Each structure stands twice: as C-alpha cells, then as structure tokens.
C-alpha cells in the first residue's frame, strides 16, 4: 500500500490512577470512538505511568479493569481498536531505556508537568517522575504513531518525542515515524464544576468539582446543583468564556449532551436563570452516562470477557511494538537473540 493510501496510526492512553471523568469522556474518549474506521487505533491503560505516584496495588488492579470496561462501554470496539494494558507489553520499558540514552537532561528539566507533579508530590520526587516523558515517547514511537490525540497541556510531550525521534533518526536513518499532536476540533475542554478556570480532574471527586462515568444519578445531580456559575450580577445563560467561565462550562457540557448550539441553549433558557439551568444540565449528563454505567457494570461481571480483550490487545500490540524494538536494537549494535 502506498504512503498516500496507508491508514495512519493513532495512539493514546489514560492512567488508571482514578476513575474516568466526564471530562475524559467528552474531551477524549468520545472522539476516539469516531476515529476507528479511518485510523489504526491503539488505546492503552497506562498503568506504568500511574506508578510514578504511590498506588494501592489492589486499587490499581481494580481501576485498570474498570477503565477497560468503561472504554468498551463508551463505544471503543475491541475488534476495531487495539485495547491493551501498558505493562503487558514489555517493549514499552525496553524502548524507554534505549531512548533515555538519546534524551538530554536539560530537556527533561524543562518539562512543565514534572515541575507541577514534583510540587504536588514533594515527598516522592522519584526518577520515574522525572523520566516518564521518555516512557511516553516510547509509547508513541513503538507503534510508529502518526498522530497522538492530546490536550494543549500535553503538546510539550509530543514535541519532546519528536526531538528524540529526530535525534535517533539523524544517527541511524529512518527508524521512527515523526508523530504529530492531534487535537480534534470537536473535542470539548471540560472544566471543573467548582473551579471553572481549571480542567476537570479526578482529584476533585471529594469536593464536587468532578463527575465520573460510574457516578450514581443522585451524586451527579448534587454536583451540578452546587456547580459554580459566575460572579456576574446578571443571572442569564450566555456563552462568554472570559467573564462567565462557570456558565460557559455548563453550556459546553449541555451542548455535548444534547447536540444543541450555544445559541439554541441561550434561547432555551432565556429568562429562566441558573436555578433552572443547572439541574437541566445534570439531568442531561445523567441520561448521557446511564447506558455507559450500566454497560460497564455488566462487563465488570464478565471477567472472562475482559481478560480475553486485554490478552488479545496485548498480543496485537506486542507484534507491532516488537518489530520496532528489534529494529532499534539492531541499529544500536545489540547482538540479535
């Protein structure tokens, strides 16, 4: 197949360090579902990345299987997408070591996420926290990914991956595909319900700023009733991300749930105010997530099926990843086994 007609490859993943959020679904997973027919898609459960911060082993295992069930419940068909657990493909760690020898200390020192995470985990600033962007580069380059769906806050990692790939290719020839960040135009950036200037985070489950895909309807409604709107004295539903961040965030969520434009939403709630708007958004989210929650719960009762999915996904991923590692090892001069 010639280069022009070749299906491009996409890779992405989410750490099972907490429950999947509404933001993860609307900003990432919902868009992944629509890519399967056009691209070769690899989606991993990034458990190796999760352990840069201390994890409870039993909880990590539980969340990993739960996240896999939620991936499938959200519409990621295991027949069309390669779904796998990162630690099940040893090539990730193998390539990460090779690439770490082609990554400069200064490059890693400038990574803004390291600075942020080090500040939040001052008692555990480990080497993995510092070098995990190299593992992320290995994740991407193993599958010769053309595109990496990322948010704006992750573009720096793709840029580092390109720098590493370019450096390696300059020495050894055309080994790695140069990946590009892929930010779908339809991707919604969902913010915290309590601090709408910050992205919705799984770390906010306790303060009501975050809604998770498996939350009960009554918990979802409670979060939306308490959602921050804005300090504007005018109680009106209007999309204005600069001065009405909270309301604009709720409109974004309602738009994804209903398919309505911001103008249609503004007209629907004209004269009704926030008291009517917030519960309606909550109800829309409850109905959006209901089939996902019910299907995920059903899948979690079928452990044999989930095991078959992650075993098959690891097998398929390892075939591609193994080819890349063998090529890299040969270029480095390692004796072939």
DSSP secondary structure, 10-34, as one string: EEEEE--SSPPBHHHIIIIIHHHHT
Same fold, 9-188+302-332 and 202-297: no
State the pLDDT at residue 304.
97
Q: What is the pLDDT of residues 176-218, one digit of tens each?
A: 999 998 876 655 688 889 888 888 877 666 677 899 999 999 9
**Average model confidence (pLDDT) across the chain:** 90
Which of 51-55, 119-123, 198-202 is predicted most confidently? Answer: 51-55
State the pLDDT at residue 205.
64
Q: Active-site residue among 202, 260, 327, 331?
A: 202
The CATH H-level superfamily of 202-297 is Tyrosyl-Transfer RNA Synthetase (1.10.240.10)
State the pLDDT at residue 153.
66
Q: Where are the domains positioned within the chain?
A: 9-188+302-332, 202-297
pLDDT band at 65 (very low <50, low <70, confident <90, very high): very high
Mean pLDDT over residues 302-315, rounded? 98
- Confirm if 43 and 117 have CB atoms less than 8 A apart: no
Query: Hey, what are 269's tokens?
Result: 């709630």
**b/e sequence 117-150, b meaning 16+ C-beta within 10 Å:** beeeeeeeeeeeebbbbbbbbbbbbbbbbbbbbb
Strand locations in 189-330 (E): none
* Full-model pTM: 0.89
State the pLDDT at residue 71.
97
Clarify whether 155 is annotated catalytic. no
Q: Which residue has better confidence, 296 or 232?
A: 296
Clarify whether 117 is annotated catalytic. yes
State the pLDDT at residue 18.
81
What's the CA gap between 145 and 162, in Å, rounded? Answer: 11
Clarify whether 115 is annotated catalytic. no
Q: At what angle do helices 274-300 and 303-332 cross, to 10 degrees?
A: 90
Query: Hey, what are 276's tokens?
Result: 């009517």
State the pLDDT at residue 231.
61
In sequence order, what DSSP letters do the residues of 76-100 get, joined into one string? Answer: --TTTEEEEEGGG-THHHHHHHHHH
The CATH H-level superfamily of 9-188+302-332 is HUPs (3.40.50.620)
Residue 139 confidence (pLDDT) above 90: yes
State the pLDDT at residue 1.
46
* Percent of the chain predicted with pLDDT > 90: 65
Q: Active-site residue among 117, 260, 327, 331?
A: 117
pLDDT band at 154 (very low <50, low <70, confident <90, very high): confident
What's the CA gap between 194 and 208, in Å, rounded? Answer: 7
Q: Which residues make Cβ contacts (< 8 Å) with residue 65, sequence separation at least 6?
A: 300, 303, 306
CA distances from 106 to 67, 95, 109, 236 (A): 35, 20, 5, 49
- Confirm if 222 and 286 have CB atoms less than 8 A apart: no
């Amino acid at each position: 197949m010639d280069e022009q007609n070749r299906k491009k490859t996409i890779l992405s993943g989410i750490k099972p360090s907490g429950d999947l959020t509404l933001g993860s679904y609307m900003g990432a997973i919902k868009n992944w579902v629509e890519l399967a027919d056009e691209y070769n898609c690899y989606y991993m459960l990034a458990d190796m990345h999760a352990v840069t911060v201390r994890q409870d082993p039993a909880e990590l295992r539980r969340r990993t299987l739960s996240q896999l069930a939620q991936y499938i419940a959200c519409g990621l068909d295991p027949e069309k997408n390669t779904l796998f657990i990162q630690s099940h493909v040893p090539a990730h760690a193998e390539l990460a070591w090779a690439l770490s020898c082609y990554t400069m200390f200064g490059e890693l020192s400038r990574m803004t996420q390291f600075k942020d995470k080090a500040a939040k985990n001052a008692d555990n600033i480990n080497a993995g926290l510092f070098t995990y962007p190299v593992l992320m580069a290995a994740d991407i380059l193993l599958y010769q990914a053309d595109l990496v769906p990322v948010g704006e806050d992750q573009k720096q990692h793709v840029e580092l991956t390109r720098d590493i790939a370019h450096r390696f290719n300059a020495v050894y020839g055309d080994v790695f595909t140069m990946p590009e960040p892929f930010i779908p135009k339809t991707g919604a950036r969902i913010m915290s319900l309590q601090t709408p200037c910050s992205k919705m985070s799984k770390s906010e489950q306790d303060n009501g700023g975050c809604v998770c895909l498996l939350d009960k309807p009554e918990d979802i409604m409670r979060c939306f009733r308490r959602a921050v709107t804005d300090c504007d004295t005018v109680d009106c539903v209007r999309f204005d991300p600069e001065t009405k961040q909270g309301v604009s965030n709720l409109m974004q969520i309602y738009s994804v749930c209903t398919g309505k434009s911001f103008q249609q939403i503004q007209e629907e709630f004209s004269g009704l105010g926030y008291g009517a708007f917030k519960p309606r958004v909550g109800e829309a989210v409850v109905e959006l997530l209901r089939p996902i929650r019910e299907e995920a719960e059903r899948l979690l009762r079928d452990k044999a099926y989930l095991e078959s999915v992650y075993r098959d996904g690891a097998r398929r991923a390892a075939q591609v990843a193994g080819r890349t590692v063998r090529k890299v090892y040969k270029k480095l001069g390692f004796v072939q086994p």
